Amino acid sequence: MELAAAKMIGAGLACSALIGAGVGIGNIFGNYLSGAMRNPSAAPGQFTNLLIGFALAEATGLFGLLIALIILYG
């Protein structure tokens, strides 16, 4: 196997972290909206938790993308 092909396969596998980030963000916002519809008065109190969860889930995806770019161009 050539080195370029191995880099492409490794970068593709590293990008699989983006799948988890997408699923995580969908779960976070879906559960927030579900809770906000059940108890609208508690929604503003949970908004900071929503943003923290979104940031952590997105950071996981960005770390995977960063590893893929390091594999390709490093």
Q: How far is it, in rounded angstroms, from Cα 32 to Cα 26?
A: 10
Q: How far is it, in rounded angstroms, from Cα 57 to Cα 63?
A: 10
pTM of the model: 0.76
Task: Kindly report, residue by residue over 28-50, the tens digit of the pLDDT.
Answer: 999 999 999 999 999 999 999 99
Q: How many domains does the chain have?
A: 1
For residue 1, the model assigns a pLDDT of 78
What range defines the domain where residue 23 resides? Answer: 1-73
pLDDT band at 4 (very low <50, low <70, confident <90, very high): confident
Q: How much is the mean pLDDT over the chain?
A: 91
Core vs surface per residue 40-62: b (16+ CB within 10 A) or e: eeeeeeeeeebeebbeebbebbe
Tokens representing residue 6 in the block:
């191995």
User: Is residue 20 scored above 90 in pLDDT?
Assistant: no
Q: What is the CATH number of the domain that holds 24?
A: 1.20.20.10
